[in-house]
Structure 1
Amino acid sequence: MSGYDPQQAASWGPRHTPVLHGHDEAEATLLEAWASGRLPHAWLITGPRGVGKSTLAFRFARFLLANGPAGSRDEGPNLFGDAPVLPDTLAIPEDHPVFSRIASAGHADLITVERSFDEKGDRWRGDIVVQDVRAVIDRFGKTAAEGGYRVCIVDAADDMNTNAANALLKILEEPPPNAVLLLVSHAPGGLLPTIRSRCRRLALKPLEDAALVPALDRLLPDLDAAERRGLAVLAEGAPGRAVLLAGQGGLKLLHGLLEMIGQLPKPDIAKLHAFGDALGRDRSGAGFQVMGELFRWWLARLVRAAAGDRIGGPGWAEIFPGETALARRLAGWQTPDRWAEDWEQVGRLLDRGESVNLDRKQMLLNLFAMLGRAAAR
């Protein structure tokens, strides 16, 4: 869905999160690599946006900075010959000094690379620039402040421009001892092949419901159960996506969209204009962007379910009361193939409108006019 917002993530984000849901296998892989004493110097943590990649990266960073290299602590066999006891989890207690220092961005041996704030433009930069990566080069050129690891988290590596990527590649090619780079990537295919080849890849999958539900209970405790269930459907296994949508009013926007779609082929023009006016008053354009993404997402959901004859069946979870009946009615208008064509046209309309900065209200009216034609076929 929407991109990373450093300000919004600051209150709930990975730097502060003590719990990781649903990625036990990935955690075990990292523990095993650390315990072997041959920890790869670079990891590429991949998966859909919002599934917990950054949370895992910070969790591993805390573990490394709290424990140091395997074998560096006094864990040898005791008087009775017992084997050393190694950690069986990456978790670090919230009252641990390393946890609190990382949460406050105050640990000398952890550096994070993300889109920085442009003071002149008074906005967050669209890319990670070379100056951001040079800070890593400077830090990695010095001895670790606490004698253990130096860790760098790049979140997300996809945001690096060409100069930043080439600068990072130099570090990957000649990493200093006890330095670990954790690269978070939503779309690793877009990274330089030379960067991918120098990292060990760790792929995270969307969470199953058994892990997603408790994650949302913890992350969104102020919402009622029905709202969390709706966001769980929208999230598609990505708790971070659910949190962002909750903050952006995603459920309310989708409910308004479905209400107007349900009136087709004769929508309430006054309500449609009012909805467009409300989106137009948001100068940032964030509300319209979320609306457009939800519009595409819900049509794709309709196409997939209609093609597999799954509307209301196994694997279909209703977001709002009446959504199933609406989806069945729309599926009866035309074939899934025709709906797929409309989904593509919706995407083209939104992309073209954004590229030339068309009036948002007019774009909304155009979208519903297109759906109205589909209803009249």
Structure 2
Amino acid sequence: MSGFDPQQAASWGPRHNPVLMGHEAAEQALLQAWSSGRLPHAWLITGPKGVGKATLAFRFARFLLAHGPAGEMDAGPSLFGDAPVLPKSLEIGEDHPVFARVASAGHADLITVERSWDEKGDRFRGDIVVQDVRAVIDRFGKTAAEGGYRVCIVDAADDMNTNAANALLKILEEPPANAVLLLVSHAPGGLLPTIRSRCRRLALKPLGNDAMEQTIARLLPDLDAAEQRGLAVLAEGSPGRAVMLAGQGGLKLLNGLLEMVGQLPKPDHAKLHAFGDALARDRSGAGFQLMGELFRWWLARLIRASAAGQIGGSGWTEIFPGETALSRRLAQWQAPDRWAEDWEQIGRLLDRGESVNLDRKQMLLNLFATLGRAAAR
């Protein structure tokens, strides 16, 4: 894939990102809670990975740190003390001092809790540990450095181990004044019920097509329009997933795989073996895992669209040029229920192979053998 700049993509991480698209309702809910003067002290921001939960958390944190409590806003120079004009969005411009200090992790009244670095293991810890949460207790036990809000972002709350969760619960049970906790969670059902019950929940949904395409165009401007559209479909409303797939070459990987699928029942064996050799050389297995994940996703997309008669219809967007023709051709091989059986068989094949560390090239060949039987029916 052309035009992907990892450094540029990294610069649009949640801490640095000034733009949030597709979540206007959630933003207004936060703004209204703040302007009411009765802002809940803890929020649980939920939704699928990569849809913008952490971006919204940092956006709200910047707003709180810049504006302070609504009741303390300066009424301005009016002789009669007219009510201040309340902000209409959470936006804090990139030229604002608070934006720069949050981006550089230099604001004294913002603390973030995430998996910390384990110097002994020379890697990030697998969990958020109790020491990470104790830093919040220490910070919240002091007066706000700038007299406004103290804000804590936990990203992600799902990563907390039992001791860390219990330590955070103590803060939630007895929150100090003008302290706000923003908990990001991909799977809130796994959190302690007592944590969930003490937070106001704000659920984010995957972005719609228009917002997704606009966001990808902003995050990955060097990709051509066709690649941006393809990633928008492939990422299913998750800008974070789109950036991840761009970095891993996911669109190119799926395109190459489906190009060989389109040659069935007589594939180019030289290309197939070369593809398998490349996957086998990757000792991490990340490429093979991504290939399997993307192909299973694409086959499920084919089955759903075929069963509903939607291939090439008004709600259909090509991931790459020629996908519509390929999908129609495969849909003619067999009925959707037979494809569903093959989807399950391919899933078992890939899962079993990964669990016992089978030869990845051979698993690829077995996958194509299964597809070849479908093509020959």
Shared fold (TM-score, shorter chain, > 0.5): yes
Decide whether aligned partners of structure 1 residues 169 and 375 sit closer, same or farther in structure 2, where only a CA change above 3 A counts. farther
- Structure 1 residue 123 corresponds to structure 2 residue 123: yes
What is the CA deviation profile of residues 335-370 of structure 1, one whole-angstrom value per residue up to 9, with x for unaligned ones?
A: 222322332333333333333333332332232223
Give the CA deviation at 1:81. 5.4
- Structure 1 residue 332 corresponds to structure 2 residue 310: no
Q: SS at 1:88's partner residue?
A: coil
Q: Separation in 2 of the partners of 1:332 and 1:44? A: 46
Q: SS at 1:181's partner residue?
A: strand
What is the CA deviation profile of residues 85-112 of structure 1, one whole-angstrom value per residue up to 9, with x for unaligned ones?
A: 1111111111111111111111121111
Hey, what does 1:3 align to over in structure 2?
none
Hey, what does 1:33 align to over in structure 2?
33
- Structure 1 residue 136 corresponds to structure 2 residue 142: no
Aligned partner letter, 2:239: P
Give the CA deviation at 1:9. 6.8
What is the CA deviation profile of residues 50-74 of structure 1, one whole-angstrom value per residue up to 9, with x for unaligned ones?
A: 2211111110000011111111232
Q: Is the 8 A contact 1:41 1:181 kept in 2?
A: yes
Q: Separation in 1 of the partners of 2:53 and 2:135? A: 23
Give the superposed CA RMSD.
2.2
Give the CA deviation at 1:257. 1.2
Q: Is the 8 A contact 1:22 1:208 kept in 2?
A: yes
Q: Separation in 1 of the partners of 2:123 and 2:114? A: 14
Give the CA deviation at 1:121. 2.8
Aligned partner letter, 2:337: D
Q: Separation in 2 of the partners of 1:63 and 1:250? A: 36
Q: Separation in 2 of the partners of 1:162 and 1:341? A: 41
Give the CA deviation at 1:7. 9.5
What is the CA deviation profile of residues 307-341 of structure 1, one whole-angstrom value per residue up to 9, with x for unaligned ones?
A: 21111112111112221121112222222223223
Corresponding pairs, count: 372
Q: Separation in 1 of the partners of 2:252 and 2:147? A: 51
Q: Is the 8 A contact 2:11 2:17 kept in 1?
A: no
- Structure 1 residue 103 corresponds to structure 2 residue 92: no
Hey, what does 2:375 align to over in structure 1?
375
Give the CA deviation at 1:277. 1.7
Q: Separation in 1 of the partners of 2:7 and 2:44? A: 24
Aligned partner letter, 1:343: W
Q: Separation in 2 of the partners of 1:337 and 1:156? A: 39
Hey, what does 2:151 align to over in structure 1?
151
Q: Separation in 2 of the partners of 1:255 and 1:135? A: 47
Decide whether aligned partners of structure 1 residues 141 and 79 sit closer, same or farther in structure 2, where only a CA change above 3 A counts. same
Query: After the TM superposition, which residues 138-287 of structure 1 pair with which residues of structure 2 at under 5 Å, given as runs?
Result: 138-287=138-287
Decide whether aligned partners of structure 1 residues 13 and 335 sit closer, same or farther in structure 2, where only a CA change above 3 A counts. same
Q: SS at 1:16's partner residue?
A: coil
Hey, what does 1:43 align to over in structure 2?
43
Q: Separation in 1 of the partners of 2:134 and 2:343? A: 43
Decide whether aligned partners of structure 1 residues 352 and 24 sit closer, same or farther in structure 2, where only a CA change above 3 A counts. same
Decide whether aligned partners of structure 1 residues 127 and 356 sit closer, same or farther in structure 2, where only a CA change above 3 A counts. farther
Q: Separation in 1 of the partners of 2:255 and 2:304? A: 20
Q: Separation in 1 of the partners of 2:121 and 2:361? A: 27
Q: SS at 1:277's partner residue?
A: helix
What is the CA deviation profile of residues 275-306 of structure 1, one whole-angstrom value per residue up to 9, with x for unaligned ones?
A: 12212223333322222221121111112111
Q: Separation in 1 of the partners of 2:219 and 2:182? A: 24
Give me the identity figure in percent.
Answer: 86
Aligned partner letter, 2:266: K
Q: SS at 2:333's partner residue?
A: coil
Q: Is the 8 A contact 1:77 1:84 kept in 2?
A: no
Decide whether aligned partners of structure 1 residues 155 and 349 sit closer, same or farther in structure 2, where only a CA change above 3 A counts. farther
Q: Is the 8 A contact 2:9 2:243 kept in 1?
A: no
Structure 2: give runs of 5+ residues left out of the alignment.
Answer: 1-5
Q: SS at 1:253's partner residue?
A: helix
Q: SS at 1:151's partner residue?
A: strand
Q: SS at 1:180's partner residue?
A: strand
Q: SS at 1:39's partner residue?
A: coil
What TM-score does the superposition give when structure 2 sets the normalisation length?
0.92
- Structure 1 residue 308 corresponds to structure 2 residue 308: yes
Q: Is the 8 A contact 1:158 1:190 kept in 2?
A: yes
Q: Separation in 2 of the partners of 1:47 and 1:170? A: 25
Decide whether aligned partners of structure 1 residues 133 and 354 sit closer, same or farther in structure 2, where only a CA change above 3 A counts. farther
What is the CA deviation profile of residues 240-279 of structure 1, one whole-angstrom value per residue up to 9, with x for unaligned ones?
A: 2211111111111011111121122332222122112212
Decide whether aligned partners of structure 1 residues 174 and 249 sit closer, same or farther in structure 2, where only a CA change above 3 A counts. same
Decide whether aligned partners of structure 1 residues 180 and 303 sit closer, same or farther in structure 2, where only a CA change above 3 A counts. same
Q: Separation in 2 of the partners of 1:258 and 1:232? A: 18
The answer to which of 236-245 and 252-261 deviates more is 236-245
Give the CA deviation at 1:209. 2.4
Decide whether aligned partners of structure 1 residues 367 and 116 sit closer, same or farther in structure 2, where only a CA change above 3 A counts. farther
Aligned partner letter, 1:332: Q
Decide whether aligned partners of structure 1 residues 354 and 110 sit closer, same or farther in structure 2, where only a CA change above 3 A counts. farther
Q: Separation in 1 of the partners of 2:51 and 2:106? A: 26
Q: SS at 1:283's partner residue?
A: coil
Give the CA deviation at 1:40. 0.7
